[in-house]
Chains A and B, each alone.
Chain A
Amino acid sequence: MTHDEHQRRSVVRDSLGVGLATGVYGASFGALGASGGLSVLQTCAMSLLIFTGASQFAFVGVLASGGNPLSGALTALLLGTRNTLYGLRLAPLLAFSPRRRLGSAHLVIDESTAMAVTRETTALARTGFYWTGVSIFVLWNLFTFLGAFAGSTLGDPRDYGLDAAVGAAFLALLWPRLRERRNLGVGFTAAAVALLLVPVTAAGVPVLAAGGVALLAGVLLRTGDGR
């Protein structure tokens, strides 16, 4: 096996692992949607059409607490702005044609971005992006249906520790970059800013604010090349 092929397979394997750990969370969303007053069909439509977890959970949260559907949709959009930021970083790396962008854009989420941005080449970035994005799309929608249909009888992904898996996956992706002092500083600052904001802002805002830390760091830290 060539070195390239070896690397590709390892990215595919890792992507499927993240896809599995994340995708089954669709069951939590499905159960929440159905218990929050949505029909099974509406819950499934959300996963198919919106397909970005934080936005979906927030939307259902607004509806369940008696808010009107429009404010639910607006909250979902506010959280969706995070994906715009991801797209900025992904665009030069994935180098899609305008036509390819149309369909691929739907797959831009936390996990597919994370599995792509740390790659060295466009080929490996695309491998990480698609294998993660597509595997999550398939499983997320399948498990949304199962969760909406069966309610909470499916069991909680937390019982299998899957809520810890995703954090660990993100840390593993970040790890090689933490050897650099500057990145360590940016990372801890971003984490601290996010945690400080969690109690006082809408879900999704803390991670957006961390994007602000990247902005500040880019402006202030001029020396070195930062890679």
Chain B
Amino acid sequence: MSVWVAIVLAGVGCWVLKLAGLSVPPRLLERPLIERIANQIPVALLSALIAVQVFTTGHSLTLDARALGLGVAVVLLVARAPFLVVVFGAALAAALVRLL
């Protein structure tokens, strides 16, 4: 199969997958059990995304400047810093550590 066909196939497929989730009728989501699950989804997904973004490289678990960035983010959040200060404070900390 040519690369072009595969790219278009993946593009259309990924769009259909995105659309499918958005198109589930709200009625189906209003049942108490589904609602409880739906409420936990952001918490679980965000936590997993943080873990994967910060502590892994490819298929291995790593501890590097990103972990320090996350630590700085925690301190800033405890200090009630604004969102962007937290985000770029973590970036700055990671960048500085890599310079050392």
**Chain A CB within 8 A of B1 CB:** yes
Interface string of A137-174 (1 = CB under 8 A from B): 00000000000000000000011111111111111111
Q: Which residues of B contact A165 (CB under 8 A)?
A: 69, 87-88, 90-91
Per-position contact with B for A73-114: 1 when CB-CB < 8 Å, else 0? 100110011011111111110111010011011101010011
Number of interface residues of B (CB under 8 A): 75
A206 to B59, CA, bound (A): 11
Closest to A193 in B: B48
Task: Decide: A91 and B10 in contact? CB cutoff 8 A.
Answer: no
A92 x B29 contact (CB < 8 A): yes
| A51 interfacial by beta-carbon distance below 8 Å | yes
Interface size class of A (residues with CB under 8 A): 35 or more
| Complexed CA–CA distance, A191 and B50 (Å) | 8
Nearest B-chain residue to A213, judged by Cβ: B44
Decide: A83 and B66 in contact? CB cutoff 8 A: no
Are the CB atoms of A164 and B69 closer together than 8 Å? yes
Most buried by B among A18, A166, A206, A211: A166
CA distance A160 to B91 in the complex (A): 7
- Is the CB–CB distance between A199 and B60 below 8 Å? yes
Contact A218/B52 with A87-B20, A87-B23, A163-B66 known, Cβ cut-off 8 Å: no
Instruction: Please tell me which one of the listed residues A70, A84, A173 contacts residue B1 in the complex, with CB atoms under 8 A apart.
Output: A70
- Give B82 Cβ to nearest chain A Cβ, in Å: 8
Chain A, range 183-208, C-beta contacts under 8 Å to B = 183, 186-195, 198-200, 203, 206-207
Q: Is the CB of A77 within 8 A of B17?
A: yes
A55 within 8 A of B: yes
Q: Which of B41-55 contact A (CB under 8 A)?
A: 41-55
A10–B82 CA distance with the chains assembled, in angstroms:
10
Q: Are B42's CB and A104's CB within 8 A?
A: no
Docked complex Cα distance between A108 and B16 (Å)? 11
Q: Are the CB atoms of B90 and A168 closer together than 8 Å?
A: yes
Docked-complex contact B47 and A50, CB < 8 angstroms: no
Inter-chain contacts of B55 with A (CB < 8 A): 195
- Contact call B33/A218, Cβ cutoff below 8 A: yes
CB <8 Å contact, B13 and A80: yes
List residues of chain A with CB within 8 A of the CB of B65. 161, 164
A95 to chain B, nearest CB (A): 8
CA distance A213 to B39 in the complex (A): 12
Minimum CB–CB distance for A6 against chain B, Å? 13
The chain B residues found within 8 Å of chain A, CB to CB, are 1-15, 17-24, 26, 29-30, 33-34, 36-56, 59-61, 65-66, 68-70, 72-74, 77, 83-84, 86-96, 98
Could you name 9 residue pairs across A and B whose Cβ atoms are closer than 8 Å? A80-B10, A106-B18, A160-B95, A165-B91, A171-B70, A171-B86, A173-B46, A193-B48, A198-B52
